[in-house]
Amino acid sequence: MFDRTQDARVRATAFDWLSDQVMRYGDVLPREALAQGFFFEDMRVPLVGPQGIFKPRILDFPLSITTAPDGPYNDAFSTDGLLRYRYRGVDPDHRDNRGLRAAMANRLPLAYFHGIARGRYVAAWPVFIVGDYPDPLAPAFSVAVDDKSHLGVNTAGTEAGSSVGEEGEAARRGYITSTVRVRLHQRAFRERVLEAYRRQCAFCRLRHDELLDAAHIIPDREPEGEPIVRNGVALCNLHHAAFDKFFVGLRPDYIIEVRQDILREGDGPTLKHAIQGMHGLRIQLPRRAEHHPDPALLAQRYELFRAATKTSGF
């Protein structure tokens, strides 16, 4: 018999553990940690397994769903803004598919792990299975993300202590899912860029992940600001800020140029070595030529640098 109280305790412990892991690793979690999991009453509870739909032994129904960065399934966000999570295989009666269907019927929260590189995942929780689409060509479940303050729900479909109801719940989950979608794209862009640059700043070679960013050459708000490696440069926090504020520019031939008024300043060793010392240097490029910054995009960005310099009277 399904023990709802025990199930809720295990899931709550899993979500608390995930919060701790994000505090430790940041948004991108290593698969090794997820596979190791946590202990609940002396039983080890992993959060992922060999298959995308994962149920640990301690539970009757799945605890997590995972999208691998290299397939095999093409999980994507649909036109309604929710995640479409493909069935395990094509048999609707496969035990994993039955498990997710039961999680939907019992309104059970799960964790979702979105693979952005081999062995590296962004976690979102709680997520809920909110639809089942057994289309023979692309059978899938519909998945919505919720926030942690709405884990308490009753079986009538209304939040505990609230009169919001199903319509308000759907609107809230749709909004939260859309924000998570943006975060997943941002983290995937960062991870691809850092991997291409061997996890070091292209300007100064700093290697601490916690201090590295993926800087857009053309901002993502612009039509050409695609989240692709050739529109990115791995930079440390300091050089990313200097690049964004046009203290430094990057020419299409990959040479760093420091603004002339900055070169004339005398403001201590940080300015001298970290900014002025970059002038005229060539950036560290990815090993693979197809990951090098696009010269056409750099030319656009360099013109913005020159225009900002002239406008400011430098």
Q: Could you read off the pLDDT of 11-37 as tens digits, one per residue?
A: 999 999 999 999 998 888 999 999 999
Three-state SS at 216? strand
Contacts of 247 by beta carbon, 8 Å cutoff, 6+ apart: 241, 258, 259, 262, 275
- 157 sits in the region (left: phi over 0; alpha: psi -120 to 50; else beta) called left
First-to-last C-alpha distance (Å) of the chain: 75
pTM above 0.85, yes or no: no
Contacts of 87 by beta carbon, 8 Å cutoff, 6+ apart: 94, 97, 134, 139, 140, 141
ω into 50 cis (within 30 of 0)? no
**Domain-wise residue ranges, the chain:** 4-193, 199-311
| pLDDT band at residue 71 using 50, 70 and 90 as cut-offs | low
Q: Which ranges in the chain belong to alpha helices (H)?
A: 4-25, 31-36, 95-105, 165-196, 237-244, 260-264, 269-270, 295-311
The pLDDT of residue 82: 84
pLDDT for 159 beyond 70:
no
Question: How far is 52 from 66, CA to CA, in rounded Å?
Answer: 5
Three-state SS at 141? strand
pLDDT for 39 beyond 80:
yes
